[in-house]
Amino acid sequence: MKKLLLALLLPLPLVSHAQPLRDINYEYLYQTEGLRFGIARGDSSYTILYSLHVKDTANFFSEYYIRWEGREMLSDKEGSRLMLEVVSNKRVSSGLEGRATLPLAGAPKYLVARVIKTSVKTAWLFYAKLDPDYPVNNYLLRSGSIAAESYIHTNEPVRIGEGSDEWIISYYNDDFPAAAPAYSEAQARVPAKISADSVFRVRAGDEVSFPRKGLYLAQKDTTSLQGFAFRAEDDYPQYTKLASLSGPLIYITTRQENERLEAARGNKKAFDRVILTVTSDTERARTLMRSYFRRVEMANRLFTSYKEGWKTDRGMIYIIFGKPDQVFKFDDREVWNYSGDFKVEFTFTRSASLFDPDNFVLIRDKKKEDVWYEVIDLWRNARF
């Protein structure tokens, strides 16, 4: 296949000034619109899985295109244009999705996607580090599309993307803990080692589905530190079942309230009575549930890893405080700033594992206890 520049239209001149990647405010990462892309490392090339989602799709091809670049340092102000080998480039209802490859040999340290909207002459930058030891070495394909997220639905037909090798699938039915509050001195820790509940084999290219909820790890060799993990969920990322609602409410309810919510599974009247004890008003209860679970859905979409998105540290902060006003990214951490009524900063450090090479852990601080409970009080009174 001949190599093509991955652009959606005719090349345009650079439309934003040169800027180091470390100085950009990436607050636009955590919204419904934007580019999502993942990396899988093969024996001789990286596979880039990308999806561009935009609200206005009527004039998509005349409005947007993607330019790929390489940079060697986060402090570089400009990058070199990259030629990628396009495997697929498909128009979908929300924008565009596709796959491309880049040889390992000569690859830059950072892959940068510059998404340009021509009508407003604006560009948004997205980047990922190309680690030659990155453990993710394959991916899933849905029928006719990529599975760029870290989750699929139970019983959804998928295929392991590349090769024809046999893959060993380990299934974990662990109920991983929700994140501890931002002020907590003890984190909700995951065991250093977890044991698989079952193991089975599939061949790449064969259609397969996963009927049980939980975490899956696919590997060619279980003695190696290579593979790729994903979750299978049946009511996700938007929760529609009453039984799914009690868990995420742990952040704004007392222990006793949450136990009552858990006990009320399947009983809407009992569930509603608990929520009314929180808000003391029916209309406020409706407002609370609508607003809260919009954020839970976004946290699931944005931050799902080895556990549900709402359980992660970034998911928790996103739910309670909302989308950050400023996001700065570095190799080892992310920094979120809020500049509204509650001026607060959160730092997340990278804590990689085979199950989630891009996992981030919140640096907790006892000094954040007061602001935490002020915001929780707003939630409980639906005054956010």
Q: Which residues in 212-271 belong to E strands, given as ranges?
A: 214-219, 228-233
- Its pTM stands at 0.92
Residue 308 has pLDDT above 90, yes or no: yes
Residue 13 has pLDDT above 50, yes or no: no
Decide if pLDDT at 86 tops 60. Answer: yes
CB atoms closer than 10 angstroms to residue 122: 11
Q: What band does 1 get if pLDDT is binned at 50, 70 and 90? A: very low
The pLDDT value recorded for residue 171 is 98
For a pLDDT cut of 70, what percent of the chain falls above it? 94
The torsion angles phi and psi of 294, rounded to 5 degrees, stand at -65, -40
| pLDDT single digits (tens) 268-305 | 999 999 999 999 999 999 999 999 999 999 999 999 99
Neighbour-count burial for 85-107, b at 16+ CB within 10 Å, e otherwise: bbbebeeeeebbbbbbbbeeeeb
Note the pLDDT of residue 192: 63
* Mean pLDDT of the region 159-176: 92
**Does residue 5 register a pLDDT over 50?**
no
Q: 35 near 124, Cβ under 8 Å?
A: yes
3-class DSSP state of 38 = strand
Q: Which of 39, 127, 110 is nearest to 70 (CA)?
A: 110
Structural Rg of the chain based on CA atoms: 22
The residue-averaged pLDDT of 119-141 equals 92
DSSP codes joined into one string, 170-201:
EEE---PPPPPPTT-SS--PPPS----SEEEE
160 vs 367: CA distance, rounded Å: 46
pLDDT in tens, 194-223: 899 999 999 998 999 999 999 999 999 999
CB under 8 Å to 205, separation ≥6 — which residues? 159, 160, 163, 164
Residue 51's H or E segment, with its range, is strand 45-53
What is the pLDDT, as a whole number, of residue 236? Answer: 97
Per-residue pLDDT at 249 exceeds 90: yes
Which is more confident, 238 or 91?
238
The pLDDT score that the predictor gives to residue 102 is 96
Q: Position 324: which residue type?
A: P
**Sign (positive or negative) of CA dihedral 125, 146, 47, 224:** positive
Q: How far apart are CA 101 and CA 302, in angstroms?
A: 24
Chain-centroid distance, C-alpha 209: 22
Which of the given ranges, 4-18, 72-86, 184-198, has the highest pLDDT on average?
A: 72-86
262 phi and psi, to 5 degrees? -60, -40
Asked whether residue 67 carries a pLDDT value surpassing 50, the answer given is yes
3-state helix, strand, coil in the chain (%, to 5): 25, 30, 45
Record the tokens describing residue 73, joined without a space. Answer: 């340092």
